[in-house]
Amino acid sequence: MAFRYEALKVWPLALEYTDACFVIADNVPQSVQFSIGEQLRRAATSLVANIAEGSGKTTGRSERNFYDIARGSVAETVGLLALCQRRAYISRDQYLQMYNRANLISSMLWGLIKTHTSRKLSEVGVVYDSNAHMLDTIFESRSDAEQNE
């Protein structure tokens, strides 16, 4: 692996979550594509971008700052997803799947922030159950939308 972020346990979960956010954003009505769809895409993109950028920093303080920004981006996506659920753009089950994944990602980022010492990441001994937070139904909606085109 060429980049440090690729070795982080949070990375594949955040990448999949971001992809699922794009699927949801792509499926909101055209009338809210700019206000909700684009904002959801940007917040989700910020999540993975800040994880990657943070892992490339040379000082612990700078690295932690980017992970903190990534946590803020996760929270932003959850707020937007709550609005999508309230407006019936996604189901309650989809919202809960995304909420649970966001909570896991946020917790993992918090762990990186707290355990980060002298430029070394410590995830040793930490166990995350990512299978409990699957996003399969989100991607099924992408397949349905593609078939309808």
CATH number of the CATH domain containing 90: 1.20.1440.60
pTM: 0.80
Q: Can you read off the two tokens belonging to residue 106?
A: 């946020």
Q: Does any domain span residue 2? A: no
Per-residue pLDDT at 48 exceeds 60: yes
Most distant CA pair in the chain, distance: 52
Show the domain range for 58: 9-144
Cα–Cα distance measured from residue 68 to residue 66, given in angstroms and rounded to the nearest whole number: 5
Per-residue pLDDT at 17 exceeds 60: yes
Cα–Cα distance measured from residue 89 to residue 71, given in angstroms and rounded to the nearest whole number: 24
Q: Does any domain span residue 1? A: no
What integer is the mean pLDDT of 46-73? 94
